Structure 1
Amino acid sequence: MKIKKIGLVIVLCLAINNMSFSQSTSKEKPSSDFWSNVQFGGGLGLGFGSGYTDITIAPSAIYNFNQHFALGTGLQYSFLKQKGLYTSNLYGVSLIGLLNPIEEIQLSVEVEEMNVNNKYQYIGSNYKESFWNTGLFLGAGYRMDNITVGARYNVLFDRDKNVYGDAFMPFVRVYF
């Protein structure tokens, strides 16, 4: 079932890409310089509290096919620790498609594959779990130059998988 959904996302991204090229009315000569159409960005998250640590590093890059459509990939590593309770290491990759129907609005589809390694420390026992988690995020945001602020929703959210606390997540996306 998940493979069908991922395949559907890829087909949708390709269809959106094809539509955005066919609707281009610009008379400008397309740029042949690959790197002039690439933007780099990502996220950095730090959270500290009483016995709690949360560190996330998530670099990414996108290729702008035109002013309306971009496709990219990213990596992610997260370390979470609650002293005396649990430690978690998450490694992942993602594929993202961005559609800007107008300059200020950005729609996104993102497929994320995460390897989750949790270690729980309870009084008198230790428990480890390791699994893969797939996320399919649909998002929308308000775009100001190279910064987008919005929210995304994981349509494959599973409360029993200890990855995210909720299917709905706000985001700030920055590309340079």
Structure 2
Amino acid sequence: MTKNCFLNYSKSFLVIITVFFSSCLFAQQNDVPVQLENQFWRNVQFGGGIGLGFGSGYTDISVAPSVIYNFNEYVALGVGLQYKYLKQKDFYASHLYGGSVIGLFNPLPEIQLSAELEQLRVNVNLDGSNSNSENYWNTALFIGAGYRSGNATIGARYNVLTDKNNIYGSAFMPFIRFYF
């Protein structure tokens, strides 16, 4: 075998070996992000609430989806959206929309403590007068505690930022929270 022929075979062999090992290395690199992504989604839970209230000339419809990330069995952090429509016949119609950030702490599997910062845009249209319409932001900070069983928590929360212009009837509110 001549020297040139040996060099050509050596180069071809090195190219084949390089391609083979580089494809194996890339295959290994692709598996790591998939594993991390799967681990992330195992800790994510979706939930929220839907509310309907009807009465004598009164309508209350609300939708509030949310998502949380469980850092461990004790601590979770999440975000939520909220939309609410309120109407009192012959008096007003109101649209409220915004978001919230929620932190959950479970010192025991059955006990859940929470803190939720909520920011809502409030649009109120008084019937018969556009000049009396109001548009403003409402901020609430709820501190709560509840009993947790499976995916559901039932408890109460208190708005520590309540004032005379608060959109809620009371600073104290019961809640039922679901996450799947």
The alignment's TM-score, normalised by the length of structure 2, stands at: 0.77
Q: Which structure shows the bigger proportion of residues in helix conformation? A: 2
Shift of 1:62: 0.2
SS at match of 1:34: helix
Q: CA deviation at 1:159?
A: 2.2
**Which of 114, 119, 122 pairs up with 2:120?**
114
Q: Counterpart of 2:127 in 1: which secondary structure?
A: strand
1:129 positional shift: 0.3
Which 5+ residue runs of structure 2 have no aligned equivalent?
1-34
Q: How does 1:20-169 map to 2 (within 5 A)?
A: 32=36, 33-121=39-127, 125-126=129-130, 127-161=132-166, 163-169=167-173
| Cα RMSD (Å) | 1.2
Structure richer in strand, relative to its length? 1
CA contact (8 A) 1:159 1:165 kept: no
Structure 1: 5+ residue stretches without partners: 1-30
Cα distance, 1:160 vs structure 2: 2.1
Measured in 2, the distance between the counterparts of 1:171 and 1:50 equals 24
Q: Which runs of 4+ in 1 moved over 2 A?
A: none
Amino acid at match of 1:118: V
